[in-house]
Amino acid sequence: MVAKTTAPAGTGGHEVPQRGAHPAREQSAAAGKAARQLAPLASHRDFSAAASRDPLGLLLDQAKSRVPELVPVRHGRMLVSPFAYYRGAALPMAADLAGTRSSGLWVQLCGDAHLLNFGAFASPERRLVFDLNDFDETLPGPFEYDVKRMAASFLIAGRNNGFSKADARAAALASVMAYRETMTDFAQMPTMAIWYAHFDEDRFHEIIRDALGEVSPSAKEPVKDKSAGGKDKKAKAAKPAKKAKPAPGARRGHRRGPRAREGRAGRWER
């Protein structure tokens, strides 16, 4: 059954639907629909900064708990570019999000789910998998916080690397579309199947090769990465040879690209 209780911080004082320990799938679906009433999609569209907002003050207060000798290094790296600042400014964004509406569906957040905190690592089964790989800021909170930080990171990284606004927006939309579709898949899977689901290196490389096959050879030349503390690191850029039009359906939420061609089956190894 779905019961109502006082909402935790971050829901604007709205009541939150609570579920039992092991709800049936139908109960979970009903809880999700009830949660949407607390935070409709349109409520995530706008943001109004509080009059007392002080992101730099938050960062300076946070620096008091860090190794003093490393604080100037950290701040110097954040000055390199907008995306470098965004990477180091998880706290100001969390403070901003705390004043927004949420569904009250809490999870164990990554806490800093920007795109560069996704990567490959070895699993206990000695398989190379692709997933979130940084949990320094992990804490319980509304699931929307991680999704919004991830989406914003694609938008900022796109602009930081010279992509058009349309391309950056399409990348951000594709990221949240992938999240939505994957959660839909997980909702149909048994608990143990979700536990063992993983995205392995071979599947990741296959998608990258598919994507690179759609751009010109000149777009694959190495470029300097300006978001890593000013170091001349090399990165592969999959930038279109000419200004790309927004992907078909980018504003309508339609499926597209490699994920659309492969279909829903075979996306997750179990």
Confidence of residue 155 (pLDDT cuts 50, 70, 90): very high
Q: What is the residue-averaged pLDDT of the chain?
A: 79
* pLDDT band (50, 70, 90) for residue 251: very low
Query: Could you tell me which residues are beta bridge partners of residue 109?
Result: 139
Give yes or no for residue 10 having a pLDDT over 60.
Answer: no
Banded model confidence at residue 77, pLDDT cuts 50, 70, 90: very high
Average pLDDT of the residues in 60-64? 97
**What are 165-183's pLDDT values in tens digits?**
999 999 999 999 999 999 9
Instruction: Provide CB contacts within 8 A for 162, sequence distance 6+.
Output: 239
Query: DSSP per residue over 64-108, as a string?
Result: TTS-GGGHHHHHHHHTS-HHHHHHH-HHHHHHHHTTS-----EEE
- 149 closest CA partner among 87, 72, 81, 219: 87
Which tokens go with 249? 């359906």
Please check the confidence at residue 23 and state whether its pLDDT lies above 60: yes
User: What pLDDT band is residue 246 in, cutting at 50, 70 and 90?
Assistant: very low
Task: Tell me the per-residue pLDDT of 97-120, one tens digit each, with 9 for 90 and over.
Answer: 998 999 999 999 999 999 999 998
pLDDT of residue 162: 96
Question: Which is more confidently placed, 169 or 221?
Answer: 169
Residue 5 CB: number of other CB atoms within 10 A?
10
DSSP class of 41: G
Report the share of the chain in percent with pLDDT over 70: 71
- pTM (predicted TM-score): 0.71
The pLDDT confidence band at residue 268, using thresholds 50, 70 and 90, is low
Domain boundaries defined on the chain: 66-262
Lowest mean pLDDT among 114-118, 141-145, 195-199: 195-199
CB 130 within 8 A of CB 119: yes
Closest CA to 255 of 160, 185, 208: 185
Q: Where does 181-221 show beta strands of DSSP type E?
A: none
Q: Please answer whether residues 239 and 218 qualify as being in contact, where contact means their C-beta atoms are separated by less than 8 angstroms.
A: no
Q: What is the pLDDT of residue 9?
A: 52
The answer, yes or no, to whether residue 94 has pLDDT greater than 80, is: yes
Burial 214-231 (b: 16+ CB within 10 A, else e): eeeeebeeeeebbbbbee
Residue 58 has pLDDT above 80, yes or no: yes
Helices and strands (H and E) in the chain: how many: 10, 8
- Pairing verdict, β 118-122 and 3-5: unpaired
Pick from 33-47, 223-237, 253-267: least confident: 253-267
Read off the pLDDT of each residue in 65-79 and give the average, rounded to a whole number: 97
Mean pLDDT value across residues 35-62: 92
